[in-house]
Amino acid sequence: MPLYFRFNILFVLLYALSACFVGCNGDHKQHKTNNNQIAGKITVTDLFLSYTDSVAKIPLNRFNESNIISLNKSFANKLPLSIYKGEQNKNAQNIIVQSYQNNNASHIGAGAILLLPKFISDSLRVGDFTRHFGNIKKEKPTIGVTEQPLPVEINLNAYTSIKLTFNNNEKLELAQVTMVEVLKYR
């Protein structure tokens, strides 16, 4: 074979090989970026579910604002949390947390209300809570049809439940959660 023909074959093979590597590299980066975006969205949901689980695990005798504040400090670098101080900004980007003690004869001893900002509420569904905590407590409706759906409750044990307030949606599993209340019973 002539020498120039060998060089041409060598250049064609090198060109094809480099085109293959360039094509593979660009495609890999695109998949990696998409996976990071999906993981970021899942992370916020999972972090909030983990935070809610931690709040629910605080025993009734230690369920007070100081223990909620210390829990918030442990989640501070992961979630935007703030304690309710009397007024709420409608455009707040923090999860507003308000704990309370019930000193009357009610069967509810204490609770914590978690108001969600829109960016978390948009990605957090009732189905996420049922997959993480269990089934919704079935109750017969005591009033007729309302414009805003009534909250649903998930019993974690005999002393703790989670009440979810959500946006009106055709299917309950896909409804966006707007407020979570952790209830501690006596």
Give the pLDDT confidence of 141-173 residue by residue, as tens digits.
Answer: 666 566 667 889 999 999 999 999 998 877 889
Burial 140-164 (b: 16+ CB within 10 A, else e): eeeeeeeeebeebebbeeeebbbbb
Instruction: Give the residue extent of every domain in the chain.
Output: 12-185
pLDDT surpassing 70 at residue 28: no
> What's the whole-model pTM score?
0.71
> Poorest-confidence range of 59-73, 89-103, 114-128?
89-103
Top pLDDT among 16 and 102 is at 102
Q: pLDDT tens-digit profile of 67-99?
A: 999 999 999 888 999 888 777 666 678 899 999
Q: What is the pairing mode between strands 108-115 and 177-185? A: antiparallel
pLDDT surpassing 50 at residue 32: no
Euclidean distance between CA atoms 96 and 115, whole angstroms = 5
pLDDT at 167: 87
pLDDT surpassing 50 at residue 42: no
pLDDT surpassing 90 at residue 19: no
